[in-house]
Structure 1
Amino acid sequence: MKTTNRLGLDIGGTKVEAVLFDEQGTIIWRQRYATCKSSYPAFLQSIRTIIQEAASHAPGPVSIGIGLPGTPDPQTNLIKNSNIQVINQQPFAADIAELLGKFVAVANDANCFALSEAIDGNGAGHHVVFGVILGTGCGGGVVVGQHLLTGPNACCGEWGHNPLPHYNPQKDGIISPCYCGQHNCLETFISGSGLERQYHQNYSKQGKVPDIISLVRANDTAAIRCWDNYLDQVARALAGVVNLLDPDIIVIGGGVSNIAELYPSLQQRMAEYIFGKRCCTPLIAAKYGDSSGVRGAAWLGQRQMAQSFQRNKEDANEHHSTSGH
């Protein structure tokens, strides 16, 4: 079964982006909505309405993929680890499919980002792609041979909740508790909000990421020291990925990925922490930037719908074969 139109939804804590693509990947329709978080039923109905409106603009059948913070637990099919609290421990994937009466693919937003960049983004042509999001939070996804890895715990690529390697209290400052319940998580250091936290707690300064970078470019001493240590923390974190996975390329997205100063020294800094003291892993900003997540969701929907159709076809053939004897 092949659908010529792909619908992707990228659900965030404040907004939902819906994009409809044709077979060539050209955008047919695009719209943004505020995320409804008042209750789970209200959230569910809002997503249904968005999908129905989007599908009304499609000239033919539509596959549907949704990326969201959190992930469906493979054991229970309930959403876990989402910062949209009303969907945690809810069977969102099953409920939205039932409401619409058709197959819907649901995955973590960082996984969708990684898949997009691996299929036709800056990771295209590479066998093992590690996708990184450095934004308000810190996420990741692993794609091998253009197939997304998830794992039995749906934790593949969740490096943001590993501890910061080589933590040094004199160098790295205060350990801040993470929303996940652990301490010393990478997310509390190398996300955009982690950079802002360190600037405030370690240097008694206030500022958002763009403010800090502006001060770095103006040769402000405190901002330069904070940014330099931040780069070292990112290098330590990515070196751990290379030591474990050794991906062919690392593609970086999120707001921090747009900072030009992130890239020039990062590979060299990583080498200090990699086994053998050498790093030849390319590090590159995402091709589609903020749109990678919604593009990956659309790809996921098309692929998983085709796989589901194929499984149902094989099951039907097997049943027919068995009943014929």
Structure 2
Amino acid sequence: MSKYYWGIDLGGTKIECAVMQYTDDHCVLRKRLPTEGEGGYQHVLGQIKKLIDSCAEEVGEYPKIVGFGTPGTLDPATGTMKNCNSTHLNGQPLDQDLASLLGIPVRLANDANCFALAEATLGVVQDIKPDAEVVFGIIMGTGVGSGIVVNGKVLNGCHGIAGEWGHNVLEADGTPCYCGKNGCVETVLSGKGLERYYRENSGNPAVSRSFPEIVALASQGEELARQTIDRMHQQFGRAVATIINVLDPDVIVVGGGVGNIESLYTEGREAILPHLFNPVLNTVLAKPALGDSAGVFGAAMLVK
């Protein structure tokens, strides 16, 4: 019987491994290597094997199975990866190649699903509502990602895209998104989307403000910055209300840099109500508890 369960967070710049203890979910080892995606797909596979071999030597045990958090989705129809911002992964049978290379079974999930799973099973949900049945996890940062956990299990869906909230249209005549649609949630509520709105409404295309700068300016009363943040609240409310009307989650965990904005949990929460098919809002909006550990811990939880 193995003492440990294993997870790998396969990121664009780094690959991280976590070895977790079955008895108490204690992490006994975390280790990283650079992804070096510029070296191509086979090189990245080699980096993964190198990392697992190194960790196995340190803990004295090779894994029986490994969970992987990936920057995209394994398409159930084709058996290959899609929607990966690490483009060398797209079109590749990653699960088959990893299983062959490592000599063990593997399980894959989108990194946002891993975030949601970790916070549901090891993180903030256990602190505030441990009996939660449905948890929706949001990452609002440079982009927007999300995942769904039901009774402690990731919901993948028929097409492998369950939880892709970031690519629902929020503004029909809005900014073109890389996915081919216009006005996706990601183009509106990501940090880059908020920076774009500020710049385009400044009247000066040369104006450049980072999202943290916009937040600081809003707190100082700068009108355009306040307008940008107010719009964020309203659009967050519209977009999240749709999720609640469909899934009715017990908890929504909001991660990422934009998710750190305190007013999302007050003014953003109030903005949900006008669009909600219920007279009161009982879903809890919560900040994550695991920080940058969530992705790799969630990957490990895929195989526990």
Shorter-chain TM-score above 0.5: yes
Shift of 1:168: 8.1
Give the match for residue 82 of structure 1: 84
Q: Tell me, which stretches of 5 or more residues in structure 1 are unaligned?
A: 170-174, 303-325
Give the match for residue 32 of structure 1: 32
Contact 2:249 2:283 in 1 (8 A): yes
Give the match for residue 312 of structure 1: none
Distance 2:258 2:16 in 1: 20
Shift of 1:90: 0.3
Q: 1:128 aligns with which of 109, 123, 134?
A: 134
Contact 1:11 1:67 in 2 (8 A): yes
CA deviation string 1:82-112 (max 9, x = no partner): 0011110001111011111011111100111
Distance 1:189 1:270 in 2: 16
SS at match of 1:18: strand
Shift of 1:219: 2.0
Shift of 1:259: 2.4
CA deviation string 1:184-210 (max 9, x = no partner): 111111112211221222234411122
Give the match for residue 147 of structure 1: 153
Distance 1:101 1:275 in 2: 50
CA deviation string 1:18-54 (max 9, x = no partner): 2222232222222233222121111211122122222
Amino acid of the residue matched to residue 4 of structure 2?
A: N
Distance 1:180 1:139 in 2: 13
In structure 2, the CA distance between the partners of 1:114 and 1:200, relative to structure 1 (3 Å rule), is same
Shift of 1:76: 1.8
After the TM superposition, list the runs of 4 or more consecutive aligned residues in structure 1 that deviate by more than 6 angstroms.
Answer: none
SS at match of 1:211: helix
CA deviation string 1:152-202 (max 9, x = no partner): 1001100111001xx387xxxxx2211111111111111122112212222
Q: Tell me, which stretches of 5 or more residues in structure 2 are unaligned?
A: none
Aligned-pair Cα RMSD in Å: 1.7
Amino acid of the residue matched to residue 32 of structure 2?
A: R
Distance 2:62 2:56 in 1: 8
Give the match for residue 184 of structure 1: 183
SS at match of 2:302: helix
Give the match for residue 274 of structure 1: 276
The total of aligned residue pairs comes to 294
Q: Taking structure 2 as the reference length, what is the TM-score of the superposition? A: 0.91
Shift of 1:59: 3.7
Shift of 1:232: 1.1
1:47 aligns with 2:53: no
CA deviation string 1:63-85 (max 9, x = no partner): 41110111111122100110011
Deviates more, 1:192-201 or 1:139-148: 192-201
Distance 2:177 2:53 in 1: 37
Largest Rg, 1 or 2: 1
Identical pairs, percent: 41
Q: Taking structure 1 as the reference length, what is the TM-score of the superposition? A: 0.85
Distance 1:3 1:264 in 2: 45
Alignment of structure 1 residues 222-237 onto 2, 5 Å: 222-237=224-239
Amino acid of the residue matched to residue 150 of structure 2?
A: V
